């Protein structure tokens, strides 16, 4: 539902930060830490990686979602189910429409499967920051897992009470988080300003050509910087297009500065594993524990955004008759989009706990993460190509959509290397909603024919 309250510019931006950008906003906690576990920390390779990060966010978030996808909405709402509704009204019944429908089914299923791994990796990566607190360096893995599980239990138990009451603090907390990301990144960048030349795509191409197949597989970890980009489009119905776009440009600048700062820190301190936490502790040791607490709050908000987004996607599936009827509880008397679906909530809860217990560490979760995201991005791109092909005035957008979709597909192919390392869980988790959708829609057709 598109809320049309006459909010000021900054009010809309801050609310967007709390609802939309939790996932992509917390990716600096683990992205470069995972990438540099595979890549040597020479200045040349760091420039290449940073260039890849910058252009991944530009192409797969700014161009694909902020510019292209958000220009397409149905009744003010976005997402793959809404793209299917747009195509249903554009195409005649036939193979093309059936193909579009099947793409939507897979895309939604991948998105729902991804909704399980995201809370697990964000919570686990934040909890691991405790290891940098003086005196807690040797804390056992079991204790870290227990803390992560307790946070997850609290998060999911709270869902039935609704997020409306605490949602108003989400935005300000995320604003502080992004200011901290920008400030810590900037403090590092001033020590080596020439790192900013990483915005030149030449360094990305140089890295890929020099590293060959190994460089190609690094893309499967680089994509972690863009996870959560699909939320811009999926949450368009909650906040409207303009507040989300305005917030994204600020968020993008903060993320860019922080990644640049982490890149410098990686060169200067090749022995430190957790880059964001290490950088903050090095810059302001007395502020490290407050920053760690802020990180935990940001990851809880990010997880909340994913859960709320999952409820929204399922709700779209219910209203468009793709999914069987489920009990929906409205947790706010003012905002219709604030909903709680008990069955979905407890399925997510069990799956998130299972992921934490199976993978145990954020670096192992990262090995399972990314395939569903890139698959969903590729499918959104294909569906946008179909939509733009039906509108003569938007042929130029179709051309751009083709390029973006090809790039998303390259990233998707790179993530296939993760299947033996745990990415098969993305497929297992996505198979649950996909099976449900196929059985339900086919059953409805059979019932309609028998009448």
Q: Which percentage of the chain shows pLDDT scores above 70?
A: 95
Facing residues of 380 across strands?
Answer: none
Among candidate residues 194, 144, 190, 182, the one with its CA nearest the CA of residue 43: 194
Residue 109 and residue 233: Cα distance in Å, rounded? 16
- Please report which confidence band the pLDDT of residue 337 belongs to, taking 50, 70 and 90 as the band edges: low
Residue 442 and residue 124: Cα distance in Å, rounded? 39
* Cα 324 to Cα 79, 300, 431, 441, distances in angstroms: 19, 29, 16, 9
170-196 average pLDDT score:
94
pLDDT (tens digit per residue) in 239-286: 778 889 999 999 999 999 999 999 999 999 998 889 999 999 999 999
Among candidate residues 143, 185, 170, 237, the one with its CA nearest the CA of residue 23: 170
Residue 20 and residue 27: Cα distance in Å, rounded? 13
pLDDT (tens digit per residue) in 20-68: 898 899 999 999 999 998 788 999 999 999 999 999 999 999 999 999 9
Q: By the 8 A CB rule, do 216 and 411 touch?
A: no
83-90 average pLDDT score:
89
Facing residues of 330 across strands?
Answer: 339
Residue 49 and residue 221: Cα distance in Å, rounded? 10
Residue 356, sorted as left (phi over 0), alpha (psi -120 to 50) or beta, turns out to be alpha
Among candidate residues 373, 372, 358, the one with its CA nearest the CA of residue 424: 372
In the numeric block, the tokens 């140089």 are attached to 206
What are the residue ranges of helices labelled H in 330-417?
A: 342-359, 362-368, 371-389, 395-415
CA atoms within 13 A on the CB side of 380: 36
CA atoms within 13 A on the CB side of 287: 10
Length, in residues, of the chain: 451
Among candidate residues 198, 229, 219, the one with its CA nearest the CA of residue 67: 229
Q: What does the angle CA 325 – CA 329 – CA 335 come to, to the nearest 5 degrees?
A: 120
Residue 411 and residue 197: Cα distance in Å, rounded? 24
Residue 8 and residue 162: Cα distance in Å, rounded? 25
pLDDT (tens digit per residue) in 105-133: 898 898 888 778 888 999 999 999 998 88
Residue 137 and residue 185: Cα distance in Å, rounded? 25
Residue 131 and residue 231: Cα distance in Å, rounded? 31
Q: By the 8 A CB rule, do 254 and 179 touch?
A: yes
The alpha carbon of residue 97 and the mean position of all alpha carbons in its chain are separated, in whole angstroms, by: 28
Residue 111: phi and psi, rounded to 5, are -65, -40
The pTM assigned to this predicted structure is: 0.90
């Amino acid at each position: 539902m598109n809320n049309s309250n006459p909010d000021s510019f900054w009010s809309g931006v801050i609310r967007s930060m709390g609802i939309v950008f939790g996932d992509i906003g917390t990716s600096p906690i683990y992205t470069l830490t995972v990438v540099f576990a595979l890549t040597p920390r020479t200045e040349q390779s760091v420039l290449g990686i940073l260039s890849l990060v910058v252009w991944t966010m530009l192409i797969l978030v700014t161009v694909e979602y902020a510019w292209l996808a958000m220009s397409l909405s149905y009744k003010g709402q976005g997402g793959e189910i809404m793209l299917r509704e747009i195509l249903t009204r554009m195409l005649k019944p036939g193979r093309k429409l059936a193909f579009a429908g099947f793409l939507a089914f897979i895309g939604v299923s991948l998105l729902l499967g991804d909704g399980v791994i995201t809370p697990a990796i964000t919570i686990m990566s934040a909890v691991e920051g405790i290891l940098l607190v003086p005196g807690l360096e040797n804390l056992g893995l079991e204790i870290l897992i227990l803390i992560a599980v307790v946070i997850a239990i609290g998060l999911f138990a709270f869902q039935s009470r609704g997020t409306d009451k605490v949602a108003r603090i989400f935005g300000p907390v995320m604003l502080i988080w992004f200011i901290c990301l920008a400030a810590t990144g900037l403090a590092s960048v001033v020590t080596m300003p020439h790192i900013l030349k990483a915005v030149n795509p030449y360094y990305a191409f140089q890295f890929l050509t020099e590293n060959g197949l190994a460089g190609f597989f690094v893309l499967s970890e680089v994509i972690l910087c863009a996870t959560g980009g699909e939320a811009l489009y999926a949450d368009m119905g909650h906040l409207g297009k303009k507040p989300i776009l305005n917030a994204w440009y600020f968020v993008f600048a903060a993320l860019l500065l922080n990644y640049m700062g982490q890149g410098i820190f990686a060169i200067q301190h090749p022995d430190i594993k957790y880059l964001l936490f290490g950088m903050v502790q090095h810059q302001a040791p007395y502020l490290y524990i407050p920053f760690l607490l802020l990180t935990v709050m940001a990851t809880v908000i990010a997880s909340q955004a994913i859960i709320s987004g999952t409820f929204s996607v399922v709700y779209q599936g219910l209203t468009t008759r793709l999914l069987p009827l489920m009990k929906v509880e409205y947790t706010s008397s003012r905002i219709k989009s604030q909903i709680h679906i008990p069955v979905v909530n407890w399925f997510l809860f069990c799956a998130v706990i299972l992921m934490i217990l199976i993978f145990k560490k954020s670096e192992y979760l990262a090995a399972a993460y990314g395939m569903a995201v890139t698959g969903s991005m590729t499918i959104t791109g294909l569906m946008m190509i179909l939509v733009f092909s039906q509108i003569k005035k938007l042929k130029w957008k179709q051309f751009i959509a083709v390029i973006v979709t090809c790039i998303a597909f390259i990233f998707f192919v790179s993530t296939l290397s993760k299947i033996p390392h745990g990415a098969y869980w993305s497929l297992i988790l996505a198979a649950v909603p996909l099976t449900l959708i196929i059985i339900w829609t086919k059953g409805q057709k059979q019932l309609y024919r028998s009448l």
